């Protein structure tokens, strides 16, 4: 028996703002969208265009409160081929929320407060 990753899901308050954030900051593109017939939810799948793994964003029409994220110990992680350029982009966009210079990584925060770890390609093999 073998299992492979399919996707990770996060729920978002403002779907279009989240889609724009992930496109601008991580280059993710929408590959599929599903809307409930009654309009109660919309699910959007985002892709990096390289792997089969997807990020699933779910928006609920009745949800109005910020999501409770705990201590942000659960996060997404992306490997980047040009760490300095990514850092400059994220600094410009004001979304860096935590830096760990000793480990050579940093985190950005999406519009709902979910953290995304940014790992330089040359460190990814050692992580």
Fold of 1-63: 2,3-Dihydroxybiphenyl 1,2-Dioxygenase; domain 1 (3.10.180)
pLDDT of residue 69: 79
Mean pLDDT of 56-80: 88
Distance CA 28, CA 11 (A): 16
Which residues of the chain are in CATH 3.10.180.10 domains?
A: 1-63
Distance CA 89, CA 35 (A): 32
The number of angstroms, rounded, from the C-alpha of 29 to the middle of its chain's C-alpha atoms is 11
Residues 6+ away with beta carbon under 8 Å from 45:
7, 30, 31, 32, 33, 54, 55, 56, 57
SS3 state of residue 109: strand
What percentage of residues in the chain have a pLDDT greater than 70?
94
Residues in the chain: 127
Which residues of the chain are in CATH 3.30.720.110 domains?
A: 75-127
Other beta carbons within 10 Å of 60: 14
**What's the N-to-C CA distance of the chain in angstroms?**
26
pLDDT of residue 127: 45
The yes-or-no verdict on residue 23 having pLDDT over 60 is yes
Architecture of domain 75-127: 2-Layer Sandwich (3.30)
């Amino acid at each position: 028996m073998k299992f492979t990753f399919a996707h990770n899901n996060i729920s978002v308050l403002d779907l279009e703002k989240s889609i724009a954030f992930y496109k601008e900051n991580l280059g993710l593109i929408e590959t599929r969208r599903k809307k409930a017939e009654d309009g109660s939810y919309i699910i959007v799948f985002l892709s990096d265009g390289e792997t089969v793994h997807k990020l699933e964003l779910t928006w609920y029409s009745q949800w109005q409160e910020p999501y409770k994220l705990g201590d942000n110990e659960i996060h997404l992680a992306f490997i980047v081929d040009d760490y300095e350029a990514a850092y400059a982009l994220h600094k410009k966009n004001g979304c860096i929320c935590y830096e760990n210079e000793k480990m050579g990584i940093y985190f950005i925060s999406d519009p709902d407060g979910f953290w995304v770890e940014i790992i330089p390609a040359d460190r990814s093999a050692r992580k």
